[in-house]
A and B are shown apart, each in its own frame.
Chain A
């Protein structure tokens, strides 16, 4: 019998930039910011040189090229090697200049006009419009095209900007925290940057004190205080108190950043890991040492039941847990333990605010007259437990669907297409309505995973954690600032398939675009069809809202945020 062998896959089998050479690494080791790193602190299997070689790449930008765009999701940080860049300060550049799609709702007559202006061939594109609007600088390397600003002096005249020069590091907070980029940065002169992917950045932060201090300090200064101030439990604090809470807060990350890749693989094998395989953030019964606040990602909330664990709900960004237990301990109750286990669903970033800080800045406020509370400690349990409180008493049957949604990671969706199969007559009016509003080709498939009488169809869910947006080279896929939906700008999409490959739910489809006669538009160089990424855009430009839900004659189809769904009765939603 022949035995098939393969060398064990290694972490750096697929380097970030395939063009990095030993000479490049040598050169980088001479850059002052990298020279300052204590290379001997790194373990031999994750050497500094190895990180530079495999987790970083040197990128060249021409004057006017946009390096990062406000609102983009990225998984890398940048170190300026040479050249000069500009950060556009608030209010920032208009969306169209960044390669965004301008959404304008059609009025009644424009909507009616679709009846006779729609082409009979699906996915028709007038290619003239790509020449005029895109602002794309093509690159020889596939998937590395850049959007560029066509008139840099005008941008400098009309916007407030700050200069970034050699040695400046940027983009690290968004990369590590999986949050949108907060500003746009473009090359003022031809520039060379070192792009470090998040895995390398994580190691640099872990093994080098200098980088750790720099990143943590920037996080506390720039992001943490603002984040805490925006939460419901700390919104009452003034600047000094917020600073104190921020100084005492610990930040932790659990799970894998690229959870969508492993999730997809497991899904193909039809074996999604259960709660037992997830990294534990807090264990049921453990002594509460602080409030846990989810900053990014999702955490599963489960309780022991018989021989297993029942998922009762999940925590999303901005939600917290632990206040009730700490409060009871503070009030003198003995042997207070956490009522639930919290584990990471994919990737989750957690803030842990210590008990002492909570007692000083939260409980004192809750019990003060300002809140209308009483001094004998009768704060409502619902207020102390947050949203979780509503789920403690649910039966297994009531919670089964929620558990399934958590297991399948559908909780990531803010506009999931949920179909009640007991009402759906499979008439496909929803599909036809979608096709009539989207170039004659529906943007979803009325098929998907089912649980009891519920189906989550293969339509973009406009995720809270949109992994599809990570790595789009032109920023064509982006979150609309007006409606929060994830949309694709067809003008700047280069058909690289990064988004389609990243979507864990397979809800983005690549389609060949056609001319007026229904013939594929071909690339003159290789005669292959030009493809574009397409997905549900929630009918952003239609006055009706999502045409699928509007067209369903049996009210069976709804667009829902899983957070708002109550499974005991009918679902809410659009």
Chain B
């Protein structure tokens, strides 16, 4: 935590320095946008370097967790520098407006990602089960096969198809693929409630032997619910970058073009 405050302090100091400098330049009737724009470009460049660093794990380019802190703090710094540079929240002109949309989009997705990365790991730990994202489809298929085998066995051994009918009508939907995605990403309990309700609604129609099978199906459903939760949360943790990184790349491209255009027209 101490380290974060160190980074924040440096960022504030940097911003104040740039701000004072732009004021001085403005007072001397020069172009303060060159100062704030240069500083903003420098910060955006540092932000983009984090992705480059990730692809070069074998080079001694500072540990990744320090880069991450720098990246998070520099992201906020970039936002303030952007406002200093543009002087308004919503600038005029189509090109700059597209650039602004992309920049805000990158910043917003970054902030959302940061919030998710702070909240979600804790939620995943509390589930009490760990799974590797790439293995989730295989795990779910395994659970589904087990559940279906149990239901078939129940029909064969007890001669009653009550559980099988309920599985086809209701439970099968749940076991088919990951469910309750939206509810899960908000940390909701809908899946748990649903599983409990669908099992308890059936219970009174079963005899003792069938109830034993239902209990086993319930255990599988509970495991599946936990894996679903992992699937939803881990999908969010992985996929937000598919928004953030392309937006950031687009910002960087437009910024470079913006610099070229400014350079050409200024000269």
> Which residues on A are within 8 Å of B, measured CB to CB?
106, 108, 111-112, 114-115, 421-429, 432-433, 436-437, 445-447, 450, 452-453, 455, 542-544, 547, 549-556
- In the complex, 25 of the A-B residue pairs with CB atoms within 8 angstroms, ordered by the A residue number, are A112-B58, A421-B121, A421-B124, A421-B125, A421-B130, A425-B117, A425-B120, A425-B121, A426-B133, A426-B237, A429-B54, A432-B57, A433-B58, A437-B58, A445-B132, A447-B132, A452-B125, A544-B57, A544-B58, A547-B57, A547-B58, A549-B63, A550-B63, A552-B64, A554-B68
* Residue among B57, B122, B238 making CB contact with A427, cutoff 8 Å: B238
Other A-B contacts than A112-B59, A433-B57, A544-B58, 12 sampled, CB-CB below 8 A, are A108-B59, A423-B121, A426-B234, A426-B237, A433-B58, A543-B60, A551-B54, A552-B64, A552-B65, A553-B64, A553-B65, A555-B65
Give the nearest-CB partner of B135 in chain A: A447
Q: Nearest Cβ distance between residue B204 and chain A, in whole angstroms?
A: 35
> CA–CA, A422 to B122, complex, Å?
5
Is B29 positioned at the interface, with any CB of A under 8 Å from its CB? no
Q: Nearest Cβ distance between residue A293 and chain B, in whole angstroms?
A: 39
* Residue among A112, A426, A551 making CB contact with B64, cutoff 8 Å: A551
> CA–CA, A551 to B63, complex, Å?
6
Is B213 positioned at the interface, with any CB of A under 8 Å from its CB? no
> CA–CA, A78 to B122, complex, Å?
56
> CA–CA, A388 to B258, complex, Å?
66
Q: Is the CB of B58 within 8 A of A436?
A: yes
Q: Is the CB of A551 within 8 A of B130?
A: no
> Which residues on B are within 8 Å of A, measured CB to CB?
54, 56-60, 63-65, 67-68, 117, 120-122, 124-125, 130, 132-133, 234, 237-238
Q: Nearest Cβ distance between residue A494 and chain B, in whole angstroms?
A: 29
Given that A421-B121, A422-B121, A554-B68 are contacting pairs, would A436 and B237 also be in contact in the complex, using a CB cutoff of 8 Å?
A: no
Give the nearest-CB partner of B72 in chain A: A553
Q: In the complex, what residues of A have CB within 8 A of residue B65's CB?
A: 552-555
> CA–CA, A480 to B237, complex, Å?
39
Given that A552-B65, A554-B65 are contacting pairs, would A453 and B125 also be in contact in the complex, using a CB cutoff of 8 Å?
A: yes
Q: In the complex, what residues of A have CB within 8 A of residue B133's CB?
A: 426, 428
Q: Is the CB of B59 within 8 A of A544?
A: yes
> CA–CA, A106 to B124, complex, Å?
38
> CA–CA, A556 to B132, complex, Å?
17
Q: Nearest Cβ distance between residue A68 and chain B, in whole angstroms?
A: 36
Q: Is the CB of B132 within 8 A of A446?
A: yes
Q: In the complex, what residues of A have CB within 8 A of residue B124's CB?
A: 421, 426
Count of A-B contacts with CB under 8 A? 83
Chain B interface, DSSP helix/strand/loop, else mixed: helix
Q: Nearest Cβ distance between residue B123 and chain A, in whole angstroms?
A: 10
In this complex, the member of B54, B121, B122 whose beta carbon has the largest number of chain A beta carbons within 10 angstroms is B121
Q: Is the CB of A450 within 8 A of B60?
A: no
Give the nearest-CB partner of B237 in chain A: A425
> CA–CA, A426 to B120, complex, Å?
10
Q: Is the CB of A422 within 8 A of B64?
A: no
Q: Nearest Cβ distance between residue A524 and chain B, in whole angstroms?
A: 35
Given that A553-B65, A555-B65 are contacting pairs, would A424 and B60 also be in contact in the complex, using a CB cutoff of 8 Å?
A: no
Q: In the complex, what residues of B have CB within 8 A of residue A426's CB?
A: 121, 124, 133, 234, 237-238
Q: In the complex, what residues of B have CB within 8 A of residue A549's CB?
A: 63
> CA–CA, A432 to B54, complex, Å?
9
Q: Which 9 A-B pairs have the closest CB atoms?
A: A433-B57, A555-B65, A553-B68, A421-B125, A553-B64, A551-B57, A453-B125, A425-B117, A547-B57
Give the nearest-CB partner of A455 in chain B: B130
Q: Is the CB of B130 within 8 A of A447?
A: yes
Q: Nearest Cβ distance between residue B13 and chain A, in whole angstroms?
A: 24
> CA–CA, A481 to B27, complex, Å?
67
Q: Nearest Cβ distance between residue A571 and chain B, in whole angstroms?
A: 14
Q: Is the CB of A429 within 8 A of B58?
A: no
> CA–CA, A436 to B130, complex, Å?
25
* Residue among A111, A115, A424, A428 making CB contact with B121, cutoff 8 Å: A424
Q: In the complex, what residues of B have CB within 8 A of residue A427's CB?
A: 237-238
In this complex, the member of B57, B59, B130 whose beta carbon has the largest number of chain A beta carbons within 10 angstroms is B57
Q: In the complex, what residues of A have CB within 8 A of residue B122's CB?
A: 422
Q: In the complex, what residues of B have CB within 8 A of residue A554's CB?
A: 65, 68, 117, 121
Q: Nearest Cβ distance between residue B253 and chain A, in whole angstroms?
A: 23
Q: In the complex, what residues of B have CB within 8 A of residue A429's CB?
A: 54, 57, 64
Q: In the complex, what residues of A have CB within 8 A of residue B120's CB?
A: 425
> CA–CA, A424 to B64, complex, Å?
13
Q: In the complex, what residues of B have CB within 8 A of residue A425's CB?
A: 117, 120-121, 237
Q: In the complex, what residues of B have CB within 8 A of residue A552's CB?
A: 63-65
Q: Is the CB of A542 within 8 A of B121?
A: no
In this complex, the member of B59, B117, B132 whose beta carbon has the largest number of chain A beta carbons within 10 angstroms is B59
Give the nearest-CB partner of A448 in chain B: B130
Q: Nearest Cβ distance between residue B8 and chain A, in whole angstroms?
A: 17
